[in-house]
Amino acid sequence: MSASIRAIRCSKWYGKVTALQDVSLHLGPGIWGLLGPNGSGKTTFMRICAGQLRPSLGEVQICGERPFNNSKALAQIGLCPEADALYDQMSALEFVTAMARLSGFSANDAEKRAKASLEEFGLEDAMKRRMGGYSRGMRQRAKLAQAVVHDPKVILLDEPLTGTDPRSRATILGALQRKAADGAVVMFSTHVLPEIEAITDQVLLIARGQLVAQGKVHEIRSLLEEHPHHVRVFTAEPRRLAALCVDIEGVVAMSFAPGGVEFMTYDPAATYQTIARKVVEHEVEIDSITSPDASLEALFHYLVERAAHGAGTGSDAGVGRARSLQQANPRTQNAPHPEGQYAQQNYAPGEGQ
Amino acid sequence: MTVRDLGYRPYEGARLPASRNTSVMLRHALRRAWASWMVKVAAFISWVPFVFGCGFWMLQFWFNNQMAQQGQAAGDMGEAGAQMVFATLQWTVWLLGFLVTIGAGASAVAEDLAHDAFAFYFSKPVTAPQYLLGRVGAVAIWLFALLAIPGIALITVIAGASPADIRLEQLGLLLPLLIHSLFVSVVLSFLSVGISAFSKSRALTMTAWITLFVIPGVLARIVEEVGDWPWLKLAAVPSLITSVGAALFKIPGESEIEWYFSVPILVVSSLAAIYFAAQRVTKAKVIQ
């Protein structure tokens, strides 16, 4: 069975609070960024995938197997939890060796693999030192080394770059890219968007317990045609510029932002050109023209906001009635699904088995 | 979405069965227990009674020989041997049992709960009973080793330095020693690990264990001295263990509490403690 994560209408409730609602997806080899704000259900989904939680409804399959209480499936999973739960008295080598042994390797094999794994994450010089003396980045790398020491097909990383320095990040991202190139599914959760952008453009956006979007960043962007782009002009003469640009075609709104003017437009290319032309013609002094939409941040906030309006679930949301993205926005129901799939996919139970 | 199958390159070697993870967890827990300075101190001082016991026994042996040479009646060395081993064990149970359970038992589960370390263990093919057996087993093995090994050495010396006619009788003390050490190890490991699952706070669980281990014993002693009422000892773990030891070594009058009161109380409370710990670990591991 090839490496895969499949969720089929997976939901999870903690009492009356819905942490995850009706999540369906199918992930193949590669790196997938699981994006969402704190309390959106990322960790719950990770834990369900890692066999540590049982879904209240639906199911998750790891390489075709349900992971909950299933040692066969658990042997295929490598989890790097968010918690900084290392034993200060132990060395990284002892810790990773113990984890390799729990994954079914003999003492000799486990130690060899632990050394190789720690070297891959740049801990070759520190592996015999007690982890109590490690920096945060080194501790993260030790956690990652234990997650991949047994060659898992599915690697689940919960906020793996938290507290790491740029050098540690480069080491970690390089190692993860190698694992993905070897054919593993790497699911990488974070709420810091540039972390995802640095390693992959395949994203899953989760908000209030719902999968609000899935696919490549540019594909998601093209889906959101109804979402006006923002163009921000930093200038010392915002009122004059606003008066000049009030009749630009495609601009639907204009507001004064700190240090300039912000335009909302459905035609960003034309808006850029027109603003530039008017600035030159009327000799308006400007500092810069930027688009906050150029980063994933804007897309993320937009989707999260939209899910928040349409739903009331998630561990940060208390109890409420939820609607899926499709229900909240009829335009996405008929969205094309060529390569990437946007929004939620509804799998019939048992499909693809 | 198209799922690209890049062709996973699996590990080619053999993997051992998940059932083997009990012993892996046990070894891991043994190493973690040894990391505690209290266990190291206990390992060192476990030999102190042996040294003193040997010295005392040699002195008694010499004294008896002198008495015999002068034609006077010597003491009963067979009974004296049992009393010495029992007294040594009492001392070690109080001190070693306390140190090992505080250092390795009373914080075992609390530390993992506090750090959410279950995420590491249970993302591997490890079950909650395997985890718990590892934790309990490590405390029990350390305790058994620290009680039994110096005890065996002491009995060997006692037997070697005894008259030939009672040498076999002295060696017969090995059986009660092993049974007592095993019983004490299992009871104290179950109770301390059970207490350690009460809270995420190591300080709280360790304080709770110290309270349970020490306070009822001290109160029972005071009440017995003042009011001549021994039954409060039924709530004191060391007193209950003493009564079992006295019965095993056949030391009359050592404990007012009979072993058939003590054993059921210790067994039931140990089982209850470990059941509670199992429930806590299972709940911490997964939310069904």
Q: What is the pLDDT of residues B70-122, one digit of tens each?
A: 766 555 666 777 777 777 777 777 788 888 999 888 888 888 888 778 888 88
Least confident of A141-150, A213-222, B29-38, B68-77: B68-77
SS3 content of chain B, % helix, strand, coil (to 5): 80, 0, 20
Q: How far, CA to CA in Å, does A322 sit from each of A81, A212, A303?
A: 28, 12, 15
pLDDT number for residue A137: 85
- Asked whether the beta carbons of residue B18 and residue A71 sit closer than 8 angstroms, the reply is yes
> Could you tell me which residues are beta bridge partners of residue A257?
A260
pLDDT number for residue B285: 63
Give the dihedral of Cα atoms B70, B73, B75, B76; nearest 10 deg.
130
- Asked whether the beta carbons of residue B8 and residue A81 sit closer than 8 angstroms, the reply is no
> Could you tell me which residues are beta bridge partners of residue A79?
A156
Read off the pLDDT of residues A325-345 as tens digits, 9 standing for 90 and up: 333 333 333 333 333 333 333
Pairing of strands A30-35, A185-190: parallel
Give chain B's residues under pLDDT 70. Answer: 1-13, 71-78, 254-255, 285-288
Residues of B in contact with A78 (CB under 8 A): 123
Read off the pLDDT of residues A273-315 as tens digits, 9 standing for 90 and up: 888 888 888 888 888 887 766 555 566 666 666 655 654 443 3
A 10 A CB-CB count for A175 gives: 18
pLDDT number for residue B187: 93
- Asked whether the beta carbons of residue B8 and residue A182 sit closer than 8 angstroms, the reply is yes
Look-up: residue for tokens 């009995």?
B155
Location of each CATH 3.40.50.300 domain in chain A: 5-220
Residues of B in contact with A153 (CB under 8 A): 8, 10
Query: Å from B9 to nearest chain A CA?
Result: 7
- A102: contact with B, CB 8 A cutoff: yes
Task: Give the mean pLDDT of A65-71.
Answer: 87
Q: What are phi and psi of A6, to 5 degrees?
A: -125, 125
Q: How many CA atoms does the CB half-sphere of A279 hold within 13 Å?
A: 18
**Given a cut of 50, is residue A235 above it in pLDDT?**
yes
Query: Å from B38 to nearest chain A CA?
Result: 14
For A261, the enclosing helix (H) or strand (E) is strand A260-265
pLDDT number for residue A314: 39
Task: Give the mean pLDDT of A202-210.
Answer: 84
Beta strands in chain A (DSSP E): 5-14, 17-27, 30-35, 57-62, 77-80, 154-158, 185-190, 202-207, 210-216, 229-235, 251-257, 260-265, 286-290
pLDDT number for residue B143: 92
- B6: contact with A, CB 8 A cutoff: yes
pLDDT number for residue A346: 35
Q: Which of the 8 DSSP states describes residue A160?
A: T
CATH H superfamily, domain A5-220: P-loop containing nucleotide triphosphate hydrolases (3.40.50.300)
Give the dihedral of Cα atoms B206, B212, B213, B215; nearest 10 deg.
120
Find out whether A39 and A89 touch, Cβ atoms under 8 Å: no
- Asked whether the beta carbons of residue A104 and residue B125 sit closer than 8 angstroms, the reply is yes
Question: Which residues does B14 contact at the CB level (< 8 Å), separation at least 6?
Answer: none
pLDDT number for residue A347: 36
pLDDT number for residue A107: 87
Residues of A in contact with B3 (CB under 8 A): 2, 4, 26-29
Task: Give the mean pLDDT of A41-61.
Answer: 90
- Asked whether the beta carbons of residue B123 and residue A50 sit closer than 8 angstroms, the reply is yes
pLDDT number for residue A222: 62
**Given a cut of 70, is residue A181 above it in pLDDT?**
yes
pLDDT number for residue B182: 93
Q: Please indicate whether residue B172 or residue A154 has the higher confidence score (pLDDT).
A: A154
**Given a cut of 50, is residue A17 above it in pLDDT?**
yes
Q: Which percentage of chain A shows pLDDT scores above 70?
A: 78
> Among A106, A151, A156, whose Cβ lies nearest the Cβ of B16?
A106
For B17, the closest chain A residue by CA position comes to A104
Residues of B in contact with A47 (CB under 8 A): 119
pLDDT number for residue A353: 31
- B115: contact with A, CB 8 A cutoff: yes
**Given a cut of 50, is residue A70 above it in pLDDT?**
yes
- Asked whether the beta carbons of residue B15 and residue A90 sit closer than 8 angstroms, the reply is no
Interface test with B, best of A101, A105, A109 (most B CBs within 10 A): A101
CB pairs under 8 A between A and B: 133
Compute and round to an integer the Cα radius of gyration of chain B.
23
pLDDT number for residue A8: 92
pLDDT number for residue B189: 93
For A107, the closest chain B residue by CA position comes to B24
Query: Å from A47 to nearest chain B CA?
Result: 9
pLDDT number for residue A167: 79
Residues of A in contact with B125 (CB under 8 A): 71-72, 74-75, 102-104
Task: Give the mean pLDDT of A191-208.
Answer: 78
Query: Å from B99 to nearest chain A CA?
Result: 18
- A183: contact with B, CB 8 A cutoff: yes
